[in-house]
């Protein structure tokens, strides 16, 4: 994602990740509350305070290490708790909670892309670079989180339509799925190519 890294770029990536993930997780919490489940609200997760949403190791340390080593920031936020039995529309409600975060990132990326288009000739190179990083990271968060492997958000959407045998397989992956995804990203070039191509297609569409 990032071929050249310097201290300024690392700081920018770090800040953009924190902001984008905070909004992502807050939208999960807001959507679950809107659909009738107060679990996230009771734990104070409907907030733009990043401290409530970040995990010091998986959200802060891990992406910096993987960005430096692999040029791709891999991370996981503190999961937003919700009770799928309490939301409206059953599995479809749970699917809405799941996709709320990634769709928010897509909306943020679209906003950044429109901003670049509208003010392209008036922005300094530094501002252009920051907004471009903002767009790229939010596209990456959208595409990555929509991978339909538990516990990623895309799996909640798949749950709504999957037959029972597939659901049981997905449930068995809830606790280890994130490690499977990280392993695929870091060790399977074909998987990484698919993710990169999807990122690029979304970027091309927005720009």
Can you give the pLDDT of all 207 residues of the chain as single tens digits? 566 667 888 889 889 999 999 999 999 999 999 999 999 999 999 999 999 998 888 888 887 787 777 777 777 888 899 898 899 998 899 999 999 999 999 999 999 999 999 998 888 999 999 999 999 999 999 999 999 999 899 999 898 888 889 989 999 988 898 889 888 888 888 998 999 899 999 999 998
At 186, list the tokens: 């870091």
DSSP 52-76: GT--IIIIIIHHHHHHHHHSS----
Task: Give the C-alpha distances (Å, rounded to integers) separating 113 from 116, 139, 154.
Answer: 5, 11, 24
- The residues carrying an active-site annotation are 25
User: 144: exposed, middle or buried (C-beta count within 10 Å: 0-12, 13-18, 19+)?
Assistant: buried
Report the run of H or E that residue 170 belongs to, with start and end.
Answer: helix 164-172
């Amino acid at each position: 994602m990032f071929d050249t890294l310097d201290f300024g770029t690392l700081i920018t990536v770090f800040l953009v990740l924190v902001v984008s993930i905070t909004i992502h997780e807050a939208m999960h919490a807001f959507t679950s509350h809107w659909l009738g489940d107060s679990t996230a609200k009771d734990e104070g997760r409907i907030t733009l305070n990043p401290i409530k949403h970040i995990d010091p190791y998986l959200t802060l340390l891990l992406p910096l290490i993987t960005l430096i080593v692999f040029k791709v920031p891999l991370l996981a936020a503190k999961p937003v708790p919700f009770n799928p039995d309490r939301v409206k529309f059953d599995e479809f409600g749970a699917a809405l909670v799941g996709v709320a975060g990634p769709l928010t990132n897509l909306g943020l990326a679209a906003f950044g892309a429109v901003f670049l288009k509208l003010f392209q000739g008036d922005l300094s190179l530094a501002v252009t670079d920051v907004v471009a990083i903002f767009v790229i990271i939010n596209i990456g968060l959208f595409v990555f989180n929509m991978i339909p492997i538990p516990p990623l958000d895309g799996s909640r959407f798949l749950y709504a339509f999957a037959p029972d045998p597939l659901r049981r397989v997905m449930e068995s992956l809830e606790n280890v799925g994130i490690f499977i995804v990280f392993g695929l990203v870091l060790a399977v070039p074909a998987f990484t190519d698919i993710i990169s191509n999807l990122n690029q297609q979304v970027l091309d569409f927005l720009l």
